[in-house]
């Protein structure tokens, strides 16, 4: 019997089939009113109403008739035609790699989108990619547009709650990461109800607010909020998220000069993080902490081990950062020179390596000159701004 039933949800976005059909009908205008469609399908208006309210299951033969009436392929109704695009975008969103390619896919998907819910999900993808490419003005514009679309869907509030939450939660990140701190606090307070309606959302809310307080240099309150978020996340089974909150808390401890606590938190984060990009970020921060604690051997061992691993080979920016830090750890210029002179690394990283070398060699030259050009490698007294650039 179940084989006769049409899928309950679409393939890509998991949109309830009844809502999908209802939105497609509404988009096509008055010719696709409930009464008109029921007449062409030769069923009662009440039967169609029950189907499009989710109160009655839809059979395959009924879906075929509806697709024919809508003059749309079945694959378009079920989103089978965008399933591959959706998967490509999801993969790149998770890895945070090739975001420019993902943006092309996301815009293509938006151009194909039909129905308010599909358009809303497509906008959420575009906003996410703008956000992680640090295109904050574009991200804000897209998320506001997505939220407006979501409000137009017009179904029961609980059905659209997750979409609305995603739009508002990421809009909060836009304000946090673009350093609009007071606007971020106002926004979080304004939408506090939806942003804290579940335990998961409450943890996310505390995490965001903690980062805003850290940016405002209110470190005591920031630590309190982030540790509260950490405790909430521990009971949710969200390993990746727990690792990210540990990184945030470690950074606040680092700013507060509690380097030992920062080290413990970063080591803990590596036990939970699963995505390569975030693991590399935590590794880089851990190296900085080791240097602050004068644990140079631990820093060198961690850098060399990471450079041998596969993930860093596909992330040239992080590889360059680690090589510059290796020069800092060993107090020699060679590894930074390898970055500055190799076009495979991003231009920004080559400029950072050149800046490091300029400071290094200036100090080295002056010291060598004062000792009749005795070639002794020492780090310059003028420090390289690692906390700013790394």
| Mean pLDDT along residues 95-123 | 95
The SS3 of residue 66 is helix
287/322 Cα distance (integer angstroms):
9
Long-range pairs of 340-348 with CB within 8 A, sequence gap ≥ 24: 344/316, 345/316, 345/317, 345/319, 345/320, 346/316, 346/317, 346/320, 348/317
The confidence band for 97, taking pLDDT boundaries of 50, 70 and 90, is confident
CA angle 84, 89, 94 (to 5 degrees): 125
Q: Give the pLDDT score at 153.
A: 85
Structure tokens that stand for 217 in this block: 């240099």
Q: Is pLDDT at 4 greater than 80 in this prediction?
A: yes
18/151 Cα distance (integer angstroms):
18
Q: Give the pLDDT score at 388.
A: 52
DSSP 7: P
DSSP 13: T
151/183 Cα distance (integer angstroms):
22
Structure tokens that stand for 274 in this block: 């699963």
The size of the chain, in residues, is 390
Q: Is pLDDT at 272 greater than 90 in this prediction?
A: yes
- Give, rounded to a whole angstrom, the gap between the first and last alpha carbons of the chain: 60
CA angle 120, 124, 129 (to 5 degrees): 150
> How far are the Cα atoms of 126, 171, 242, 262 from residue 178, in angstroms, in the given order?
17, 11, 23, 24
pTM > 0.75: yes or no = yes
208/185 Cα distance (integer angstroms):
9
Q: Does domain 2-78 have CATH number 1.10.260.40?
A: yes
Residues forming a β-bridge with 16: 9
The SS3 of residue 5 is strand
242/81 Cα distance (integer angstroms):
35
Q: Bigger pLDDT: 122 or 363?
A: 122
206/191 Cα distance (integer angstroms):
13
pLDDT tens figures, 308-340: 999 998 899 999 999 999 999 998 999 999 999
pLDDT tens figures, 141-165: 999 999 999 988 865 445 558 899 9
Q: Is pLDDT at 1 greater than 90 in this prediction?
A: no
DSSP sequence for 331-364: T-SHHHHHHHT-TTS-HHHHHHHHHHHHHHHHHH
Q: Give the pLDDT score at 268.
A: 96
**What are the counts of helices (DSSP H) followed by strands (DSSP E) for the chain?**
22, 0
CA angle 158, 162, 66 (to 5 degrees): 75
Neighbours of 372 (CB within 10 A): 6
3-state secondary structure 160-225: HHHHHHHHHHHHHHHHHHCCCHHHHHHHHHHCHHHHCCCHHHHHHHHHHHHHHHHHCCCHHHHHHH
Closest CA to 322 of 361, 274, 275, 285: 285
| Mean pLDDT along residues 186-200 | 93
Structure tokens that stand for 122 in this block: 């497509």
By the 8 A CB rule, do 184 and 176 touch? yes
324/222 Cα distance (integer angstroms):
30
By the 8 A CB rule, do 277 and 261 touch? no
């Amino acid at each position: 019997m179940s084989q006769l039933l049409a899928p309950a949800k679409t393939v890509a976005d998991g949109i309830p089939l009844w809502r999908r059909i209802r939105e497609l009908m509404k988009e096509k205008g008055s010719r696709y009113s409930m009464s008109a469609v029921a007449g062409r399908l030769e069923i009662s208006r009440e039967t169609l109403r029950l189907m499009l309210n989710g109160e009655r299951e839809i059979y395959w033969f009924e879906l075929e008739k509806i697709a024919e009436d809508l003059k749309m392929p079945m694959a378009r109704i079920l989103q089978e035609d965008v399933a591959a695009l959706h998967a490509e975008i999801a993969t790149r969103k998770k890895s945070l790699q090739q975001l420019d390619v993902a943006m092309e896919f996301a815009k293509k998907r938006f151009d194909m989108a039909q129905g308010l819910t599909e358009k809303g999900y497509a906008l959420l993808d575009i906003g996410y990619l703008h956000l992680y490419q640090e295109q904050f003005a574009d991200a804000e514009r897209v998320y506001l547009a997505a939220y407006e679309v979501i409000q137009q869907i017009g179904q029961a509030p609980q059905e659209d709650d997750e979409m609305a939450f995603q739009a508002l939660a990421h809009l909060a990140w836009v304000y946090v990461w673009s350093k609009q701190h007071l606007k971020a606090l106002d926004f979080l307070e304004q939408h506090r109800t939806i942003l804290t309606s579940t335990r998961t959302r409450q943890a996310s809310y505390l995490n965001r607010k903690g980062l805003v307080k850290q940016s405002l240099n209110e470190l005591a309150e920031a630590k309190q909020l982030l540790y509260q978020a950490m405790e909430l996340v521990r009971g949710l089974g969200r390993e990746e998220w727990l690792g990210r909150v540990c990184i945030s808390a470690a950074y606040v401890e680092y700013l507060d000069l509690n380097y030992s606590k920062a080290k413990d938190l970063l080591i803990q984060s590596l036990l939970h993080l699963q995505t390569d990009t975030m693991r590399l970020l935590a590794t880089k921060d851990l190296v900085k902490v080791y240097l602050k604690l004068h644990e140079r051997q631990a820093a060198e061992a961690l850098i060399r081990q990471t450079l041998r691993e596969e993930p860093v080979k596909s992330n040239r920016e992080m590889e360059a950062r680690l090589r510059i830090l290796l020069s800092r750890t060993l107090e020699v210029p060679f590894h930074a020179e390898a970055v500055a002179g190799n076009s495979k690394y991003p231009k920004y990283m080559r400029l950072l390596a050149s800046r490091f070398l300029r400071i290094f060699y200036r100090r080295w030259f002056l010291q060598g000159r004062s000792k009749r050009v005795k070639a002794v490698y020492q780090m310059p007294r003028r420090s390289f701004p690692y906390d700013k650039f790394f």
